[in-house]
Structure 1
Amino acid sequence: MFWYDPTFIILVPALLLSLWASITVQSRFAQYSRVRSRIGMTGVELARFILDSAGLYNVRIERIHGSLTDHYDPREKVVRLSQATYSSDSIAALGVVAHEIGHAIQDAKGYTPLVIRNAIAPVAQFSSNLAWVFFIIGLVTGMFGLAKFGIILFSIAVLFTIITLPVEFDASRRALQILEKNLLMPADELKGVKAVLSAAAMTYVAAMLMAVLQLIRMILIARRD
């Protein structure tokens, strides 16, 4: 069967990068979670301060379960902070919170890559779920038109991962700028924030690489069959 195909080796670099990125982000977050920031704010206090300073009074803040589950929801206009960051005053927590507020600011300013990502997100999720279904059915039945349609669907998911990169990198840039210029975070603490956010960014790079290599693999399998 095609899922045992030797072309699976194409995915090895992405798998290794994903493993390294996951271990690194967990390690750095744990490391800097033990270091309290001298800013004197918890995650939720920092979030509210930055949002209000940017005039985003309508953006709510919610607490959610989990660790590193923090995210900004552009549909609900809400920043959701995890248990690991909401009440924490650590360098790691403040860096993650500032990053998510960076997304809220992107949304408010109509940052183009974010607008594009939000627009294709529902389609990308749909495409990602169904791409392999059409691809497998097409190969098994010999209906290669279906297999090609599966490749097209998966291409949309790949595009989503590519567009995600500038969105995430820009949010981190905004976060560092806010912490440095608006809150005067000391240089040694900024170094820790950069370490955490850089590791987190690599998880998105790994996801993009995995998607691209999966697409290449699908094309090779379709051509062979």
Structure 2
Amino acid sequence: MAGIYIIGILFMLISWLVSWRLKSKFKQYSQVPLSSGLSGKEIAEMMLADNGITDVRVISVAGKLTDHYNPADKTVNLSEYVYEARSAAAAAVAAHECGHAVQHARAYSFLKFRSAMVPALSIASRYMQWILIIGILMLQTTPLPLTIGVVLFALTTIFSFVTLPVEFDASKRALAWISSRGIVTSQELTMSKDALKWAALTYVVAALGSLATLLYYVSLLMGRRD
């Protein structure tokens, strides 16, 4: 059991390091002016237009690294910096989020599966932690609550792993487009690749951390049966 706790602490440390590295890289590449002189907003609108997407809006949202694509209202949400900035970092992020819009328009299978999971996941996440706590407290009496908690947590773990191909594919689409369209130079493309690589690693660490936590709860459940 001690090994499980060590693994949990290890993943927390790795997660912090990857997050710190991502912020460091983003700050570094944010200081590199984009040779094309385009802003994140302009890059996003160009990528959408080049892919024949006319029903998606590009808007600015508050915060740092808050960039995301919302399939519900079809908006590419760029953080204030990315929206206005003309840097290698802004180009990478803006194109990546538009990559999700392209996935949506092309009915990319993993994105469809991920979106289909959201309603069930939102309900599960609302009660999951309480069910797990109750399950652990009642484990010596009945395994049912913890079993339910494990099933719900397994859904979140599956969601984390389904997210990986969605993120990787969005980055692949983004990098191919900014390169072929001449948005970035070869040096700026290398920076964009590096920034998106560290962003992707945050999802990888989150997925593996979720799996490690799931295995911990499963070990509790199996230990009770022993």
TM-score by length of 2: 0.94
Structure 2, unaligned stretches of length 5 or more? none
Secondary structure at 1:63 match in 2:
strand
Secondary structure at 1:61 match in 2:
strand
Pairwise CA distance, 1:167: 0.3
In structure 1, the residue matched to 2:154 is 155
Paired residue for 1:109, among 106, 114, 120? 106
| Letter of the structure 2 residue corresponding to residue 86 of structure 1 | Y
In structure 1, the residue matched to 2:78 is 81
Once the two structures are overlaid, the 10-residue window that deviates more, 12-21 or 169-178, is: 12-21
Identity in percent? 36
Paired residue total: 221
Between the aligned partners of 2:123 and 2:198, the Cα distance in structure 1 is 28
Q: Is the 8 A contact 2:88 2:184 kept in 1?
A: no
Paired residue for 2:96, among 95, 99, 115? 99
1:125 aligns with 2:128: no
Q: Is the 8 A contact 2:26 2:195 kept in 1?
A: yes
Pairwise CA distance, 1:184: 5.0
Structure 1, unaligned stretches of length 5 or more? none
1:50 aligns with 2:52: no
| Letter of the structure 1 residue corresponding to residue 52 of structure 2 | G
| Letter of the structure 1 residue corresponding to residue 148 of structure 2 | F
Between the aligned partners of 1:76 and 1:57, the Cα distance in structure 2 is 13
Q: Is the 8 A contact 1:125 1:157 kept in 2?
A: no
Residues 54-99 of structure 1 show CA distances to partners (whole Å, capped at 9, x for unaligned) of 1111101111100110000001001011012000001001100000
Q: Is the 8 A contact 1:99 1:175 kept in 2?
A: yes
Secondary structure at 1:72 match in 2:
strand
Secondary structure at 1:81 match in 2:
strand
Pairwise CA distance, 1:170: 0.5
TM-score by length of 1: 0.94
Once the two structures are overlaid, the 10-residue window that deviates more, 99-108 or 179-188, is: 179-188
| Letter of the structure 2 residue corresponding to residue 100 of structure 1 | E
Pairwise CA distance, 1:110: 0.4
Between the aligned partners of 1:10 and 1:122, the Cα distance in structure 2 is 30
Any residues of structure 2 matched to 1:16-27 within 5 Å, and which? 16-27=13-24
Pairwise CA distance, 1:148: 0.4
Between the aligned partners of 2:19 and 2:183, the Cα distance in structure 1 is 30
In structure 2, the residue matched to 1:217 is 216
Residues 121-145 of structure 1 show CA distances to partners (whole Å, capped at 9, x for unaligned) of 2222322332232122123232311
1:13 aligns with 2:36: no
In structure 2, the residue matched to 1:28 is 25
In structure 2, the residue matched to 1:39 is 36
1:135 aligns with 2:138: no
